[in-house]
Amino acid sequence: MTEGRRKRVCVLISGRGSNMEALIAAARRPECPYEIVGVISNRPDAGGLETAAREGIATTVIDHRKFDSREAFEEVLHETLLVFAADLVACAGFMRIMTAGFTSRWEGRMLNIHPSLLPLYRGLHTHQRALEDGVRIHGCTVHFVTADLDGGPIIIQAAVPVLPDDTPDTLATRVLRQEHRIFPRALELVASGRIRLENGRTVGTWTADPEIAVVSPSLD
Ligand code: GAR
């Protein structure tokens, strides 16, 4: 599937790191075109740090509160990614807004998972906002990171039906299960070169079952 060596991936986290875990688990397969070489957190108390260490993966904390500016924080982040010799960067619940200077340095090589069907519900509290709007189908998206917050070209999405008695938490739990499926897949597609960012658009080849649709409420 992949030409040559496996792509080196650094995962950026701020919290519990369940998406990071899904990426680590997927990378254990011998045919996986990427390996996770490091985990970087901007928060010293991120739960995902312990999980990563338990998995034998190098971890680094770059505490954003110790820097005077976003740029100064990002300079150290960039240098750290270079030390890890990262080919690709996976933002897995990394809750920092990035400057255009930083995103342009990693353009086409940095992916983010977001808990909504973008371009709907950029930003925070996506599940609550979806419930307030009364949508019947919600979901998650992996996209290339650009200077446009949560607005970069889409790589993969999963749709999740909204149920009548859903709360933000129950909906989040079902969306998260799909996040854990699509993030490793997106990374695999990019690491293997089947999907790439070109002139501001996602291009490449992929397959999808043309007969599958999520209908909610169901038709029967
Ligand atoms: C995930 O739901 C992810 O989509 C979201 O944070 C959660 C992190 O969970 N990311 C964002 O909201 C980014 N805008 P995790 O730490 O268990 O992977």
Domain CATH number, residue 76: 3.40.50.170
Which residues span the domain enclosing 24? 2-195
pLDDT of residue 10: 99
Residue 152 lies in a domain: yes
What is the length of the chain? Answer: 220
What span, in angstroms and rounded, lies between the C-alpha atoms of 108 and 52? 25
Contact 93 CB / ligand 1 (< 6 Å): yes
Q: Closest ligand 1 atom to the C-alpha of 126?
A: 12
Residue 178 lies in a domain: yes
Number of domains, the chain = 1
pLDDT of residue 3: 55
| Nearest protein CA to atom 3 of ligand 1, as residue | 93
Q: Would you call the peptide bond into 119 cis, given omega within 30 degrees of 0 as the criterion?
A: yes
Contact 15 CB / ligand 1 (< 6 Å): yes
Q: Closest ligand 1 atom to the C-alpha of 16?
A: 16
Residue 220 lies in a domain: no
Crossing angle of helices 126-133 and 168-191, rounded to 10°: 120
Is the pTM higher than 0.75? The answer reads yes
What residues are annotated to the active site?
A: 114
Helix ranges (DSSP H) in the chain: 18-27, 47-54, 70-83, 100-105, 126-133, 168-191
What span, in angstroms and rounded, lies between the C-alpha atoms of 144 and 195? 11
DSSP state of 104: H
Contact 159 CB / ligand 1 (< 6 Å): no
Strand 201-204 and strand 110-114: pairing?
unpaired
Which regions of the chain are under pLDDT 70?
Answer: 1-3
Residue 205 lies in a domain: no
Q: Closest ligand 1 atom to the C-alpha of 179?
A: 4
CA 214 from chain centre, in angstroms, equals 22
What span, in angstroms and rounded, lies between the C-alpha atoms of 90 and 161? 26
Contact 17 CB / ligand 1 (< 6 Å): yes
Q: In Å, what is the CA distance from 148 to each residue of 153, 189, 210?
A: 10, 22, 30
Q: Which of 35, 15, 12 is nearest to 184 (CA)?
A: 35
Residue 120 lies in a domain: yes
Contact 139 CB / ligand 1 (< 6 Å): no
Question: In angstroms, what is the span from residue 80 Cα to ligand 1's centroid?
Answer: 22
